[in-house]
Amino acid sequence: MSEIRVEREVLEKNDIAAEEVRGRFARVGTYVIDLMASPGSGKTSFILATAGALKDRYKIGVIEGDIASDVDTENIRAHGTDAVQINTGGMCHLDSTMIDRAMDKLPADRYDLVIIENVGNLVCPAKFDLGQHIKVVILSIPEGDDKPLKYPGIFTESSVLILNKIDMLGATNFDEQRLRGHVAKLNPAMEIFPISCVTGDGVEAWASWLAGQIDRSAGAAPGGDS
Amino acid sequence: MHEMALTQSIVEIVEESAAQHTVTRVRRITLTVGELADVVEESLRFCFEAMTPGTIMEGAELVWQDVEAKSHCAMCGAEFRPDPLDFTCPECQNPFTEMVTGKEFAIASIEADDEDGPPEKTNETADKAKTHGRDEGV
């Protein structure tokens, strides 16, 4: 018997593929969001609200990840935004090779912004680099302010937290200060945007922050501003 | 349950390493696992047993080496083991600390039988076999 040193990260293939996807996006100056949240937290409504606020300024594409069905994709297309479906067939998360294939199916040659809606899950998607610029996690008010204590990984891996359904604050015992306290201990740099996709509250603040990120990224891209 | 995907990656990496070294059978796989890597040992072992029959690593032992989390504070220089729910520096209360270890999940090494079975390949790498014929049932 002999011992062979391997010394390889288990997810290295995903990470290598993610770097290729990142390069592909960088070449055309596309800003990419990996959007993660639990089922029912309002991911698709949030995408529609974001696209509604920014579609006059930017070309937007959506990659929809679901275990099955294309209801979200149909919904997004019905609102006039390009969307392509990935069905994971039971897999709990997207990986970077799926993103590469999905990009080939989006109709336009280039996008300013691509939003990837990950599979509804607060655990697994946090671990997989998709070649995104930022990971965004949505926490909706009815889920409770203790989620960072139960799922710390996703709150440390994401750079933006969307507090969705703030129109429901009065109907729950959700304490926003307590939530912010939990987040500050794990990820003090996290940007937090409280919004409601029903009333539209907070959507403008999020959209203008995102526009700043898209513009900065396009300015930094090799062919940007040309 | 991303352990299924993790196991799939382990199988691929081990098969690649085995192919590079012309081994016939992988007996032991040593994993290094950070305490905050969010890998569920029981679940990974279950997936490994389910996915490896018929492969070169069927029946191999998975050795789990825990790696303690360690953080560094750039403000005061403290090195400390972070609370899983609070990464703040315990010395100076700086919240912006850097985790140095604790999130890794890697294959450190494999132990394998060298090629010494019936000669099914015609290349010369077979002379490398038979260094250690140790045959333990683990």
B128: confidence class by pLDDT, cuts 50, 70, 90: very low
Question: A95–B5: do the CB atoms touch at under 8 Å?
Answer: yes
Q: Please tell me which of the candidates A3, A12, A187 has its beta carbon nearest to residue B109.
A: A3
How far is Cα A226 from Cα A146, in angstroms, rounded to an integer?
46
A6 contacts on B by Cβ (under 8 Å): 13-14, 17, 106-110
Exposure letters A17-36 (e unless 16+ CB within 10 A, then b): bbeebbeebbebbbbbbbbb
**Predicted confidence band of residue B125 (pLDDT cuts 50, 70, 90):** very low
Distance of CA B98 to the CA centre of its chain: 24
Distance from CA of B126 to the nearest CA of A (A): 14
Q: Establish if B104 touches chain A: CB-CB under 8 angstroms.
A: yes
Give B1's pLDDT tier (boundaries 50, 70, 90). Answer: low
Compute the count of residue pairs across chains A and B with CB atoms less than 8 Å apart. 102
Cβ contact B17:A6 at 8 Å: yes
Q: Give the gap in angstroms from C-alpha B106 to the nearest C-alpha of chain A.
A: 4
Q: Is A118 helix (H, G, I), strand (E, B) or coil?
A: coil
pLDDT at A83: 96
CB atoms within 10 A of CB A167: 15
Looking at residue B135, its pLDDT comes to: 40
Find, in chain B, the residue whose alpha carbon is nearest to that of A9: B106
How far apart CA A9 and CA A13 sit, in angstroms, is: 9
The model's pLDDT over B24-71, given as tens digits with 9 standing for 90+, comes to 999 999 999 999 999 999 999 999 999 999 999 999 999 999 999 999
ipTM: 0.86
Q: Which pair of tokens denotes residue B25?
A: 């059978």
Q: Report CB contact under 8 Å: A156, B134.
A: no
Residue A203's nearest CA partner among A47, A77, A2, A1 is: A47
Q: For residue A134, count CB atoms less than 10 angstroms from its CB and return exposed for 0-12, middle for 13-18, buried for 19 or more.
A: middle
Query: Does B108 touch chain A if contact means CB atoms closer than 8 Å?
Result: yes
Q: What is the pLDDT along chain A (226 residues), one digit of tens a residue?
A: 789 999 999 999 999 999 999 999 999 999 999 999 999 999 999 999 999 999 999 999 999 998 888 888 999 999 999 999 998 888 889 999 999 999 999 999 899 999 999 999 999 999 999 999 999 999 999 999 999 999 999 999 999 999 999 999 999 999 999 999 999 999 999 999 999 999 999 999 999 999 999 999 988 766 544 4
Instruction: Quote the pLDDT of residue A126.
Output: 94
Residue type, A90: G
Output the pTM of the full model: 0.89
Residue A186 CB partners (closer than 8 Å, separation 6+): A148, A152, A155, A156, B85, B86, B87
Give the distance between the most distant pair of CA atoms in chain A. Answer: 67
Residue B133 has pLDDT above 50, yes or no: no
**DSSP labels, A48-94:** HHHHHHHTTTS-EEEEEEESS--HHHHHHHHTT-EEEEEE-TT-SS-
Q: Residue for token digits 């011992």?
A: A3
Q: What residues are paired with B111 via a beta bridge? A: A3, B28
A10 touches B at CB < 8 Å: yes
